Amino acid sequence: MRTAAETEVRRPSAVRALTTLLAVTAAATVVVELLNWWYAPEQGFGLAVRTGWAMLRSVGFLVLIGHVRRGRTVARPFGLILAVTTVFAVGRLIVPRQGVPPLPGVLGFALLTGLCVAVVWLLHRSSALAGHLVRHRSRLVIDRSGISWREVAPRRPEASGWLLTSRVAAFTYSPLMLVPSLVAGGAVLDGRLIAVPAVAFWFGAGVMTSYAVLLCTAFLMHGRQWARGLLVAVTVVVLAVDLPLCRWLLGVDGLVRDGGPLVAAATITLYALWRATRADRAATA
């Protein structure tokens, strides 16, 4: 069994390959977004918000590099959600309201999609990475030997990969609601004052969703079975609030561009919960 020091120094070649791939993906995200902005026929407020949110994913890939280099278990679910939402975030900006998308944008999107697929494949199919991504977060520990900063296994029961995936996917609900609510704020600036209460409610619902998901996943990670049903209820409420507001304030175009990524995140959350429940039942049987 390797020690923590050996794991830190002797990283498998797959780790080096993945970190390089993640760095390239982060750079490609920025380049593709700049291309979309350059060729966009309408460079309005909504496109600026969506472009800024999509480019923030490049920071997410850099954070993922840190998790991979440290061998963190959260790297797998985080990488899956980051890759899926990046494809949706970039894809919704390529297609214009009218006409066909520009060729550079299509080629950039195809390249970025291929990179994201490669990231997910390496994270979930590489046996070398499976043996590397086993470490927990370091914490401040006070014991008889003094004060130290070292890796500590959590006191709660160890969560399965599917539970971690559902947790990470659910945490994307709030930003996926806040982004279209900010885009809808442009309608208020254009004189649609009737939309002010709806936009304010939408933004507030996005903020409250973050607290609701935090509460659900906290109990979920501690093995509370009822928390799974509560997370399903939160998912249903989030979809019931977000999708009609997307349709009303942003139209069909907004429903596809902003509702689509949320539906994808909700699908991953529910599927991961179902797989986790199925695995628990099989283990009990």
Residue-wise pLDDT for 218-228, tens only, equals 888 887 888 99
108 and 182 inside one domain: no
Looking at residues 53-70, what average pLDDT do you find? 87
How much is the pLDDT for 124?
86
Q: Which of 274, 268, 220, 276 is nearest to 78 (CA)?
A: 268
Please say if the pLDDT value at position 159 is more than 70.
no
Provide the whole-model pTM.
Answer: 0.76
Looking at residues 186-192, what average pLDDT do you find? 64
Other C-beta atoms lying within 10 Å of the C-beta of residue 261? 24
Please say if the pLDDT value at position 71 is more than 80.
yes
For residues 194 and 32, the model is more confident at 32
167 and 117 inside one domain: no
For residues 155 and 252, the model is more confident at 252
71 and 144 inside one domain: yes
134 and 190 inside one domain: no
Counting the structural domains of the chain, the total is 2
Burial of 175: CB neighbours in 10 Å, binned 0-12, 13-18, 19+: middle
126 and 67 inside one domain: yes
Which tens digits make up the pLDDT trace of 17-31?
999 999 999 999 888
84 and 9 inside one domain: yes
12 and 148 inside one domain: yes
244 and 190 inside one domain: yes
Q: 245: part of which helix (H) or strand (E)?
A: helix 226-254
120 and 188 inside one domain: no
What is the largest distance, in Å, between two alpha-carbon atoms of the chain? Answer: 70
122 and 176 inside one domain: no
Q: 146: part of which helix (H) or strand (E)?
A: strand 146-151
6 and 125 inside one domain: yes
Looking at residues 104-126, what average pLDDT do you find? 89
Domain of residue 188, residue span: 158-285
Which residue, 125, 153, 181, sits at the end of a domain? 153
Give the Cα separation of 84 and 62 in Å (integer): 16
Q: Could you tell me which residues come within 8 angstroms of residue 50 by beta carbon, excluding any fewer than 6 positions away?
A: 89, 92, 93, 179, 183, 257, 258
129 and 198 inside one domain: no
Which residue, 132, 153, 174, sits at the end of a domain? 153
Query: How high does pLDDT run on average in the chain?
Result: 81
Which residue, 107, 132, 153, sits at the end of a domain? 153
